[in-house]
Structure 1
Amino acid sequence: MSEPILCRDGAVLLVGGGETSGPALRAASARVSGIVAADSGADRLLAESISPDAVIGDMDSISQSALASIPSERLHHIAEQDSTDFDKCLRHIRAPLVLAHGFLGARLDHALAVLSVLARYPDRTCLLAGPSDTVALLPPEVTLDLDPGTRVSLWPLAPVAGRSTGLRWPIEGLAFAPDGAVGTSNAATGPVTLFMDAPRMLVILPAAAAGSLEAGLAARPASWPARAI
């Protein structure tokens, strides 16, 4: 188990170097208990006059001006190249919820690597906020306050089953798998509750539903245990 670099009792904002929204970063930074930059995510934050509590990564893309403007004790250089900066950050943050901006964007390979990290650390509840979608690994149970007609896509990272209320097409009795049944383009009929039997299912919602996903994750009755690695 990695030693934590940042520990907080409330949500933490984690910012990467990918596509982000300045207004969204400023709004999130005003209501979290800590802010972490993944490498060049520090430049994104400083551009919005937001100072990170910690910068974590291999430091191969952060600008020299950002390095010079951040106190050295906040810089945490992890040189190994066997993991992504997102992985390095998530495994060193202890918080009930991580709000991750700047990790979903144009590069499909980068996005897939990020999603694999969610599966690697199911005990680290994390919401990914992107320009078009918001994504999370589902906890054992979550309720989402969604408007009727909201797109709800379920994507299995491995074989998994569950049940639901509030979906146009209920999922009970389905055996989900990446090479089998998947749940793209389902829809809410109102508030949705999802129950999963393993930490292997992603939920993908429109970006406009990020607030509902955040509230649902924050109020989840239970979390998954840490995976043995």
Structure 2
Amino acid sequence: MQDPSPGAAADVPLAFDRPLAIVGGGAVDPALLRELAARHVALVGADGGADIIGDAGLVPEAIIGDLDSVRDRAGWEARTRVLHIPEQITTDFQKALYSTSAPITLALGMTGKRLDHTLAALSAVLQYAPMRRLMLIDEVDVALAATGPVRFSAAERERVSIHPLVPIRFRSSSGLFYPMDDLLLEPGGLLGTSNEGTGGMVEIVPADATPWLLILGRERLWDLMAV
């Protein structure tokens, strides 16, 4: 069994020098997959996510997981690399994370359909955000896992949500309708849902390197990749 801890992947099987998209079995827009492929983003299927890639008319560069969900393992093995990891300590998303490296990693199909899968994906983001740049994408939103200050431009009244994965205090903010100066956000307490930009640059500064989520509309995907 491969050690599933984040620090165990110093020599990962698959190292990418360009953006990587890990695709799970949840809700995925096939048009977005084709756009990612056209922009030379590497596509990797987390188990059954390979079939979602295939249904979009694409071939993943690899399939990673315990392979209990992929429809035709033998057929995929004839077309691409298949990395079978039978351990059951981690999810297929975590297996894909500890088996790869990339400058930035997008995660699609990790939310929707099953609530337990969505919660597990958020747990994996919290675990791996200190080690790599991660973004969750669904039909509506894109969520950047941040571990420090973030600066970006936002239109006036644009929705800007800040979600705490664990308790986190923010030192300051600018460019937001609801300031976050010395503000503690925490699950089960105060949240940063549906804040808004005032127009222009937004800066959000946490007090430390605790992971948190910056959530914008999905149309901001390519902008957030450059943040």
Report deviation, 1:210.
2.2
Q: 139-148 or 5-14: which moved more? A: 139-148
Match of 2:162 among 148, 151, 154: 154
Q: Is the 8 A contact 1:156 1:178 kept in 2?
A: yes
Q: CA RMSD in A?
A: 1.8
Distance 1:70 1:128, change over 3 A: same
Contact 1:19/1:130, CA 8 A, preserved across alignment: yes
Assess, with a 3 A threshold, how the Cα gap between structure 1 residues 72 and 80 changes in structure 2: closer, same or farther. Answer: farther
The residue aligned with 1:120 is 127
Structure 2 residue 204 is matched with structure 1 residue 194: yes
Aligned counterparts of 1:184 and 1:194: Cα–Cα separation in 2: 14
Aligned counterparts of 2:74 and 2:50: Cα–Cα separation in 1: 9
Task: Report the CA distance between 1:20 and its aligned residue.
Answer: 0.9
In the TM superposition, 1:1-229 aligns within 5 A as: 1-2=8-9, 3-64=11-72, 67-71=74-78, 74-122=81-129, 123-162=131-170, 163-190=172-199, 191-196=201-206, 197-216=208-227
CA gap of 1:176–1:52, structure 2 versus 1, over 3 A, is same
Q: Residue type of the partner of 1:211? A: W
In structure 1, runs of 5+ residues without a counterpart are 217-229
Residue 172 of structure 1, CA deviation: 1.4
Report how many residues are paired: 215
Residue 167 of structure 1 aligns to a residue whose secondary structure is: coil
1:144-171 Cα distance to aligned partner (Å, 9 max, x none): 2322211111111222122222111111
- 1:33 to partner: Cα distance: 4.7
Tell me, yes or no, if the aligned pair for 2:12 and 2:101 is still in contact at 8 Å. yes
Q: Taking structure 1 as the reference length, what is the TM-score of the superposition?
A: 0.87
Q: Distance in 1 between matches of 2:80 and 2:109?
A: 24
Q: What is the deviation of 1:71?
A: 3.4
Post-superposition CA distance 1:25-80 (Å, at most 9, x none): 0001122352211001111111222111111001000002x541343771001111
Cα distance in 2 for partners of 1:93, 1:32 equals 17
| Residue identity matched to 2:223 | S
8 Å contact from structure 1 (residues 39, 56) kept in 2: yes
